[in-house]
Amino acid sequence: MHPTEAESGSHVVRQQASSGKFCAKSSCGLFPRQAPSWVIYLPQELQDRVNSSVGPTPSFGITFESVLKEKGSFQLRPGAWWSQRIWSMSRDSKGCREVQRAFDEATDQEERLAMALELRGHVWEALRCPFANYVLQKCVTVLSRENMNFIFQELKQKGPEMIQQAARHKYGCRIIQRLLECGPADQVNDLIDCLLQDAINICAHPYGNYVIQNLLDQSGKLPTTGTREQRRRLLHSLMDNVTLVGNESDNVYVSAVMVKIMSVAQREEKVQLARSLLRVPGLLRKMGTTRHGHQAAKKVLKTLTGSEHEDARFQLYGHGSEATAESRRKAASMRRQET
């Protein structure tokens, strides 16, 4: 918002668009006789500071940009219809749609940040809300990486166990996935480290397994040293707990993670995991009877070679394959006897 012109014939007082600074000169001195109009939208303590910078004894260095930075917000449009209403509207089924539309229609990052900061202090509550979680997802997808730090910070304050709980939450899992996709690299790495502390329980969860699959997708897209190491840690967690795949209550979700890791991992990583599955008698056969497990079993067959491949086929098809092979041997023997 640009300041208004002074009514006493002074020069125009305005915000400089390029630097955020304001400067003004009255007709009889070097300093403005009144504060700029945008001051009324600031908290009282900041209004007092700006007011003290006008008149005969100004405080140098006060700028519009510095005041906003000190406040920790960029509320450049405090008169907007959504001002001070974002959080209350976000918890309403209709209001959350209006807020999401406002984020999409915002003119720049500063306006989006001003809107997002109205959720500050409510991130954990929004994450679990059936309506506000959509607004929080929208924030993550439209904000620049450097502007979403407050979201990560509020989650970190809850501690690793609560973040892992969020990954298993019906709505929270969506927020964790959006953060993995859109967050700054250092924050995302910290988030992944936290999730890997309880990787197996998250893998075996109806909602959590999608978070781990998303994590694997991101590690496949960004094969840096850090993401490779994190993927290796997940791989070893799965190998150490591979018998979970044969557990009737858990295998459907763990197997889905197996399919994903067999799709995005490096060749040597796939072989390690396939061998760990092969070492458990009857495990591949159990996998082959489940929705996701049979896909993982197929990938195991494609990964292994030689005698390991044959062992995997035998485990998958069991006595059926053996009987077929025996019938073929008998038929061949009978043909040789006839000749």
Residues 47-77 pLDDT 10s: 666 566 554 433 333 333 344 444 444 444 5
- 132-142 vs 149-158: helix crossing angle, rounded to 10: 130
Residue 27, both tokens: 């007709």
| Over residues 20-38, mean pLDDT | 43
| Most confident listed range (25-34, 41-50, 130-139, 232-241) | 130-139
pLDDT at 296: 87
Whole-angstrom Cα distance, residue 296 to residue 260?
9
pLDDT at 49: 64
pLDDT at 65: 39
pLDDT over 70 (residue 43) = no
| Over residues 198-225, mean pLDDT | 84
Query: Which of helix, strand or coil describes residue 2?
Result: coil
Say what the pTM is: 0.69
pLDDT at 173: 98
pLDDT at 208: 97
pLDDT at 79: 67
| Partner residues linked to 14 by β-bridges | 23
Mean pLDDT lowest for which of 8-22, 40-54, 156-170?
8-22
E strands, 225-326, where? Answer: none
| Over residues 238-266, mean pLDDT | 80
Whole-angstrom Cα distance, residue 141 to residue 181?
9
pLDDT over 50 (residue 177) = yes
pLDDT at 57: 35
Using alpha carbons only, what angle is made at residue 308 by residues 303 and 311, rounded to the nearest 5 degrees?
115
pLDDT at 76: 47
